[in-house]
Amino acid sequence: MPLHPDRLLPPEPAVRAIARRLYRSVQALPIISPHGHTDPNWYADDAPFPDPATLFVKPDHYIFRMLYSQGVKLEALGVPRLDCAPVESDGRKIWRLFADHYHLFRGTPSRLWFEHSLETVFGIEERLTSANADSLYDRISERLGQADMRPRALYERFNIEVISTTDAASDPLAAHDRIKASGWTGRVVPAYRPDAVIDPSRKDFRGEVERFLAVAGAPATFAGYLDAHRSRRAYFKERGATSTDHGHPNARTANLPRDEAEALFERVLKPEVTAEDADLFRAQMLTEMARMSVEDGLVMQIHPGSFRNHNPQLFAEFGLDKGADIPTRTDYVHALRPLLDAFGNDPRLTLILFTLDETTYGRELAPLAGHYPALRLGPPWWFFDSPEGMRRFRELTTETAGFYNTVGFNDDTRAFCSIPARHDMARRVDCAYLAQLVASHRLEEDEAHELAYDLAYRLAKQAYRL
Amino acid sequence: MPLHPDRLLPPEPAVRAIARRLYRSVQALPIISPHGHTDPNWYADDAPFPDPATLFVKPDHYIFRMLYSQGVKLEALGVPRLDCAPVESDGRKIWRLFADHYHLFRGTPSRLWFEHSLETVFGIEERLTSANADSLYDRISERLGQADMRPRALYERFNIEVISTTDAASDPLAAHDRIKASGWTGRVVPAYRPDAVIDPSRKDFRGEVERFLAVAGAPATFAGYLDAHRSRRAYFKERGATSTDHGHPNARTANLPRDEAEALFERVLKPEVTAEDADLFRAQMLTEMARMSVEDGLVMQIHPGSFRNHNPQLFAEFGLDKGADIPTRTDYVHALRPLLDAFGNDPRLTLILFTLDETTYGRELAPLAGHYPALRLGPPWWFFDSPEGMRRFRELTTETAGFYNTVGFNDDTRAFCSIPARHDMARRVDCAYLAQLVASHRLEEDEAHELAYDLAYRLAKQAYRL
Amino acid sequence: MPLHPDRLLPPEPAVRAIARRLYRSVQALPIISPHGHTDPNWYADDAPFPDPATLFVKPDHYIFRMLYSQGVKLEALGVPRLDCAPVESDGRKIWRLFADHYHLFRGTPSRLWFEHSLETVFGIEERLTSANADSLYDRISERLGQADMRPRALYERFNIEVISTTDAASDPLAAHDRIKASGWTGRVVPAYRPDAVIDPSRKDFRGEVERFLAVAGAPATFAGYLDAHRSRRAYFKERGATSTDHGHPNARTANLPRDEAEALFERVLKPEVTAEDADLFRAQMLTEMARMSVEDGLVMQIHPGSFRNHNPQLFAEFGLDKGADIPTRTDYVHALRPLLDAFGNDPRLTLILFTLDETTYGRELAPLAGHYPALRLGPPWWFFDSPEGMRRFRELTTETAGFYNTVGFNDDTRAFCSIPARHDMARRVDCAYLAQLVASHRLEEDEAHELAYDLAYRLAKQAYRL
């Protein structure tokens, strides 16, 4: 079945008519993608994407975690093991396994993204089944070999105006430099993601900090370490970065006196860091990052609340990002206070908050963002980047924070072909929400049109200073 | 007013039409009731049910807690006191009191279940009022005396395919044996509910453990205690049990080294158990139960998060289950980890999770069930076993866990006549949800039909291995 | 654009038709305002309200916090500084600034209240813009000077039957006496709000207690302090009070032995009170207040869970109530137990609970109110006093607590002109909810009509004993 033109719009005819008008006005706007995880080498190398299984199944933890939850082994899906033991390498077999379990995705956003990609990128309007798995595999494979399916051509076809990657603090950003040197006009900017040199609970923390200091040419003191951040931020900024990103277990911030912060830095560089010291150091560094953002203007993002690698057996066998990261209850009201005391009223700071705990939307995040000039609310994240998740976000934040303390949409994805699908979903769901407001006479339609444009395009560009 | 054929279906005509088609296709499916609290003696004895007040008011804490909350004394409703002081014994008077307060149930599921029973079981289409209380009482009383109103006849009329009772670990299951011996073909299976011998915070814990060990012929060591569980589980399994059930104050699990577990067992058998030891023992035993489930194949259910007997005065006067159990905030992400570390990836285990804390649906339960092969989500439970509760369950879990990590419906009731009403409600609400997905083009109608069947019938049968 | 007659009613035509019928039947009912923050001097003096900026912007933290969150300085909005440094005093300039940022309120209840006031009080049907700011300012200013715009005339025009103010425990209630002495027939009653003499964490606590004991002529012992409460409660009751109100950081209650309570009282009167002692004293005093309510019949309200003055810089410059109070996670199940153990079953007590933590609606508050005879649920409060907030309140509480354990609507406002707007919003949203129940055949329309009346008028009057 082809994609329905009214998908995700409200079923009631009068409301749908309004939603349709709103959606039509923003449907074709360029994509602003200020937060995502595509690989900058794609744009630098412009090499063809490989087979369908490598494109859609192997790297997508949304897809393989669902199959895993129903008893399919990750090895059978071609997910590489850390011990390099053999896993399935026949893309067609992996694809068939995906097709055999396709019903599992009913009612999920993965299904909607996948079918949007199939139709708009590959021209396939059939539903994937065990019966047609081979033929679809062949059709996708064939298309993947064609010139107009390379990353740069797709970037242009997707009407992307600017896209941000996410890059480690010590990353030389060579791919970004190659993109620039190539003369290609696509705008691919890095984002400064220093978690590896900020989180002392990581096994590789000390090694990462050493490398980081070496890259920046800074001494192993707290002052040197902060200078290294300043230097790397400037390096990123020269290459187009407008933001930093911080993925912490919680939203805790601290603002210690300098001597305590220095002593803490010395402690976390030793082996056997206590959990409290690790947590406090992360907390302190969020405030340091905010301080630097006030100086250099990089927009700051905090993504807290994921319990990473909940499944130790899977982690030991397959490593990070295998669908075993689970959200946890997250506090913002107390946690953010030290940072907000220092910079919450500073108009030079933009701090964008994300959450995996939807209970905080109405109770904590909207009231905070509806007060502090420095705060903005990021869009629904990860598990909540879905039609119902986006609807709840608007219903739970708008009445307190309004629309203008939010920042448009983030696709947050490493699945390149799903980018247009995700932005399209967000535009549809926002237009559906706006149409409900218009239909219940809480908003007039001219305002809804302005808002639809702001939510689809303008706010992301403005908030991320792009 | 007769029951409306479209009750609980969405009002928008196009969506309602889809929902109607879906509902019609599952309306008459047999009832799978894998978790409930009906009395096996009903099926064994096949004695008539007593008067209307004893059927509908006295034993139903949904009903009498609402009247109590508005100042009606439990004594006046015939609820027995522990001190055997006299309470109202005139069923007609109790019924009149219920009728006088019937407006309190507006907007509640109790009202919908009651009216479904009245009409489909007793042929009464009038709304209960003070004015018609006596006449309805007479009509119900008269029907209750007739042969086709006995438990076995109703079991058949209700189209029940299989029903599970809930039984204490030391229960000889005599009623179940009598049912089998009678030659009646109804399928009534027990479920292993060992809380009384697992929870050291109960007053009668030591006595229960002694009795339990005696029944199993096992010595009073931890090894003997575990063997007693194995033996009783086998005894239940021989009588048709396919599941165990665990109603704990929280979802904490532990996986202690054997010597620590043995020492803990010795401590909890002494008087003056600490709260921490009691909690740790319950936690340890959940993991032991999972270990046994891996061996014997019994499906495991955890029902955590109820603060039992919140009202000490009422508890002292009337005992357990008087509507004073209150939900509490419940953590799963950290609490379940020891058990999941041991068995979460084991395909032999099915562990079904319930909650009284709806904030965990999207944040914890759906992400966990959408990853771990052993986990499934039980249906909305207790206070949330209602139209809005069921809708929220689907809206908050489906996008992350899909439909196939859920297990259909549980009626969870001791109110026999309400069983068809509860399953009918679940089918309607699920069809309403599916119709919304179809109407917003997130699902196609042929898939929705398959799902309606799965949710109404197949998934319960499959998940509970019935 | 004029206010749409169907605003906030459901868009689906059949449901809207039901909602319209329900709303029409309650639209013109008198307003019962049992909890609010209007100034009794308004009614006593009957002086004209000043300019539009002083009426709508300067005192309304819903308005100025939104502008502040987007970078507008409070000084520019005429909000007075504690250091008396000059702030904008030109009402017209403030009004223009408000108009320039009016789009920020899209989707918020503030917008709906404001436009309802503009049209129904001032006859203005235009949307506020930068372009018409001056002309609207002039029209409002002109009207404010006219006799029928004075507080008493508006009270009558608004069809208020009774309104409660909120007054400090030591307040002599002179304005209330002047209202009475004036012979005006409006009913303005005080409410006993003793937070200042109950919360030892306040800077001015000891001074307030001294003043309080002096006013009551009581000695500085715990017995004297309790007697002072009794005396002041009686004083309030003589002037028409039917309720007390308690705004605590959390819902903790305690019921200490008398000697411990006395010792605690002595400790909290000393400088350097510990946070735990302050918390315990507040907890103890809630139980003492309940004890007095059982004696004197004043209805008790608890408003817990606000983290006051989250922004210390703003607090230092501008003081209390500047939009920087943020909700926090709140527990009721454990916190209320000491009080409920003592008085939860007492039919003489009515204790009305509010929350800023919506997760407690279904999990804690509805189950508690659906059981304890003394408990009732207050309407959605503060940030949740909004169309979506009111809808969630009904959806999350009704199935467990029913409608009759709720108490109608509170406007809770100091913005006089918004009172009719707020009650109108509540009536519309409740009728929309009832219409959904009728349209999905969960309720019959005659019952919905009775409920619409109860929710709009009768329950507030009854619960607050007005």
Are residues A39 and A165 in contact, defined by beta-carbon separation less than 8 angstroms?
yes
Mean pLDDT of the residues in chain A: 97
Decide if B371 and A104 are in contact by the 8 Å CB cutoff: no
Answer yes or no: do A145 and A81 share one domain: yes
Are residues C37 and C165 in contact, defined by beta-carbon separation less than 8 angstroms?
yes
Instruction: Report the percentage of chain B scoring pLDDT > 90.
Output: 99
B8 near C CB under 8 A:
yes
Instruction: Report the percentage of chain A scoring pLDDT > 90.
Output: 99
C345 near B CB under 8 A:
yes
Q: What is the mean pLDDT of residues A98-114?
A: 98
Q: What is the ipTM of this complex?
A: 0.97
Answer yes or no: do A164 and A129 share one domain: no
- Residue of B334, B345, B405 with shortest CB distance to A314: B345
Answer yes or no: do C25 and C142 share one domain: no
- Residue of A105, A307, A359 with shortest CB distance to B333: A307
Q: Given pLDDT bands bounded at 50, 70 and 90, which one contains residue C1?
A: confident
- Residue of C8, C105, C323 with shortest CB distance to A402: C105
Decide if B327 and C367 are in contact by the 8 Å CB cutoff: yes
Decide if C311 and A344 are in contact by the 8 Å CB cutoff: yes
Decide if C328 and A401 are in contact by the 8 Å CB cutoff: no
* Cα A89–Cα A95–Cα A97 angle in degrees, nearest 5: 95
Give the 3-state secondary structure of chain B. CCCCCCCCCCCCHHHHHHHHHHHHHHCCCCEEECCCCCCHHHHHHCCCCCCHHHHHCCCCHHHHHHHHHCCCCCHHHCCCCCCCCCCCCCHHHHHHHHHHCHHHHCCCHHHHHHHHHHHHHHCCCCCCCCCCHHHHHHHHHHHHCCHHHCHHHHHHHCCEEEEECCEECCCCCHHHHHHHHHCCCCCEECCEECHHHCCCCCCCHHHHHHHHHHHHCCCCCHHHHHHHHHHHHHHHHHCCCCEEEECCCCCCCCCCCHHHHHHHHHHHCCCCCCHHHHHHHHHHHHHHHHHHHHHHCCEEEECCCEECCCCHHHHHHHCCCCCCCEECCCCCCCCCHHHHHHHCCCCCCCEEECCCCCHHHHHHHHHHHCCCCCEEECCCCHHHCCHHHHHHHHHHHHHHHCCCCECCCCCCCCCHHHHHHHHHHHHHHHHHHHHHHHHCCCCCHHHHHHHHHHHHHHHHHHHCCC
B344 near A CB under 8 A:
yes
Q: Which positions in chain A touch C127 (Cβ < 8 Å)?
A: 444
**Is C271 a member of any domain?**
yes
A293 near C CB under 8 A:
no
Smallest CA–CA separation between A266 and chain C, in Å?
Answer: 31
A255 near C CB under 8 A:
no
Last-in-domain residue among C129, C149, C169: C149
Report d(CA C59, CA A171) in Å as an integer.
51
- Residue of C362, C403, C450 with shortest CB distance to B107: C403
Are residues C400 and C367 in contact, defined by beta-carbon separation less than 8 angstroms?
yes
Closest chain C residue to A365 measured between Cα atoms?
Answer: C326
Answer yes or no: do C82 and C161 share one domain: no
Smallest CA–CA separation between B213 and chain A, in Å?
Answer: 36
Are residues A421 and A116 in contact, defined by beta-carbon separation less than 8 angstroms?
yes
**What confidence score (pLDDT) does residue C97 get?**
98
Residue A1 in this model has a pLDDT that exceeds 90: no
Concatenated DSSP letters of A279-332: HHHHHHHHHHHHHHHHHH--EEEE---EETT--HHHHHHH-S-SS--EE-----
Last-in-domain residue among B116, B147, B178: B147
* Number of domains present in the structure of chain B: 2
Residue C412 in this model has a pLDDT that exceeds 80: yes
Are residues A355 and A327 in contact, defined by beta-carbon separation less than 8 angstroms?
no
Secondary structure of residue C10 in the 3-state scheme: coil
CATH of the domain at C78: 1.10.2020.10
Last-in-domain residue among C117, C149, C181: C149
Determine the residue among C75, C110, C310, C431 to mutate to test chain A binding: the one whose Cβ has the most chain A Cβ atoms within 10 Å.
Answer: C310
Answer yes or no: do C347 and C252 share one domain: yes
Cα atoms in the 13 Å half-sphere on the side-chain side of B148: 5
Smallest CA–CA separation between B20 and chain A, in Å?
Answer: 16
- Residue of A344, A441, A451 with shortest CB distance to C7: A441
Q: Which positions in chain B touch C437 (Cβ < 8 Å)?
A: 107
Q: Per-residue pLDDT tens for C361-397?
A: 999 999 999 999 999 999 999 999 999 999 999 999 9
**What confidence score (pLDDT) does residue B340 get?**
98
Decide if A399 and C107 are in contact by the 8 Å CB cutoff: yes
Report d(CA B195, CA B29) in Å as an integer.
33
Between strands A351-353 and A375-377, the pairing is parallel
**What confidence score (pLDDT) does residue C58 get?**
93
Scanning the structure block, which residue is given the tokens 């081979």? Answer: A134
**Is C7 a member of any domain?**
no
Which residue segment(s) compose the domain that B124 sits in?
50-147
CATH of the domain at B291: 3.20.20.140
Smallest CA–CA separation between A401 and chain B, in Å?
Answer: 22
**Is A4 a member of any domain?**
no
Smallest CA–CA separation between A245 and chain B, in Å?
Answer: 22
Give the neighbours of chain C: at least 3 Cβ pairs within 8 Å. Answer: A, B
Q: Which residues pair with C307 in a beta bridge?
A: C326
| Alpha helices (H) along A123-269 | 133-144, 151-157, 174-182, 205-216, 222-238, 258-268
**Is A293 a member of any domain?**
yes
Interface of B with A in 417-446 (CB under 8 A): 436-437, 439-444
Q: Given pLDDT bands bounded at 50, 70 and 90, which one contains residue A293?
A: very high
Answer yes or no: do C72 and C37 share one domain: no
**Is C365 a member of any domain?**
yes
What residues of chain B score a pLDDT lower than 70?
Answer: none
Report d(CA A39, CA A55) in Å as an integer.
13
Report d(CA C18, CA C20) in Å as an integer.
5
Q: Which positions in chain B touch C371 (Cβ < 8 Å)?
A: 65, 68-69, 310-311, 323-324, 326
Report d(CA C164, CA C191) in Å as an integer.
6
Answer yes or no: do B77 and B108 share one domain: yes
Answer yes or no: do A110 and A81 share one domain: yes
C18 near B CB under 8 A:
no
Decide if A364 and C314 are in contact by the 8 Å CB cutoff: no
Between strands B160-164 and A167-168, the pairing is unpaired
Answer yes or no: do B121 and B37 share one domain: no
Q: Per-residue pLDDT tens for A231-270?
A: 999 999 999 999 999 999 999 999 999 999 999 999 999 9
C189 near B CB under 8 A:
no
Between strands B167-168 and B160-164, the pairing is unpaired
- Residue of A337, A436, A451 with shortest CB distance to C310: A337
State the distance between the two ends of chain C, measured CA to CA, in whole angstroms.
Answer: 38
Answer yes or no: do A82 and A163 share one domain: no
Answer yes or no: do C133 and C260 share one domain: no
Are residues A9 and B440 in contact, defined by beta-carbon separation less than 8 angstroms?
yes
Q: Who contacts B70 (Cβ-Cβ below 8 Å, separation ≥6)?
A: B101, B104, C373, C404, C405
Q: Per-residue pLDDT tens for A160-184?
A: 999 999 999 999 999 999 999 999 9
Answer yes or no: do B44 and B161 share one domain: yes
Q: Who contacts B207 (Cβ-Cβ below 8 Å, separation ≥6)?
A: none
Secondary structure of residue A432 in the 3-state scheme: helix
Secondary structure of residue C105 in the 3-state scheme: helix
B348 near A CB under 8 A:
no
Q: Provide the phi-psi class of C319: left if phi over 0, else alpha when psi is between -120 and 50, else beta.
A: left
Between strands B351-353 and B375-377, the pairing is parallel
Which helix or strand (DSSP H or E) is residue C265 part of? helix C258-268
**Is B305 a member of any domain?**
yes
Q: What is the mean pLDDT of residues C316-330?
A: 96
